[in-house]
Structure 1
Amino acid sequence: MCQVEFELACAAIKQLKGPVSDEEKLLVYSFYKQATQGDCNIPSPPASDVKAKAKWEAWNVNKGMSKMDAMRIYITKVEELKKKDTG
């Protein structure tokens, strides 16, 4: 059930036309990474690489979350963004 919905959500997020805040992008990214790769398994980037550091921190917050839970949350978040996008 969840895998197909997850793949549809991955495709749907690319179709969004409205603005998505950086905070929302990081949140969606973090659940995507957790769902597809599990716990963050790379060393923390240097603080000077602000973008990479923010992405690493967002993903690392989900440490210990199951891939299925991450998929469910990702799907829910994409649905929220889709509703916001259509007004």
Structure 2
Amino acid sequence: MTIERWFMQEDFEEYAEKAKTLPESTTNENKLILYGLYKQATVGPVNTTMNDYITKVKQLLEEAGASA
């Protein structure tokens, strides 16, 4: 790992920790944006379709006893 990459990793971890203590005034929209950026940085780009998402939501609703 290069020194630049090490500093980037260190910065990322620092800001990821800071994100855990966001002020109460932070909107859900902004929280979702931060979460999406975090997931993209830690997991990678989304590689599923909207149909996969809808299918999973329907499955979870059925398991919970609700209907879509």
Q: Over aligned residues, Cα RMSD in angstroms? A: 2.0
Specify every segment of 5 or more residues in structure 2 that has no aligned partner in the other structure, as ranges: 1-6, 58-68
Number of residue equivalences: 48
| Aligned structure 1 segments of 4 or more residues deviating by more than 6 angstroms | none
TM-score (norm 1): 0.46
Aligned mates of 1:23, 1:16 — CA distance in 2: 13
2:54 match: 46
Cα-to-partner distance string for 1:35-62 (whole Å, 9 max, x where unaligned): 1111113343119x5xxxxxxxxxxxxx
TM-score (norm 2): 0.57
Question: Quick one: higher RCO (CA 8 Å, sep 6+), 1 or 2?
Answer: 1
Specify every segment of 5 or more residues in structure 1 that has no aligned partner in the other structure, as ranges: 50-87
Q: Please, which of 12, 17, 24 is the counterpart of residue 18 of structure 2?
A: 12
Determine if the alignment matches structure 1 residue 35 to structure 2 residue 47: no
* Larger radius of gyration between Structure 1 and Structure 2: 2
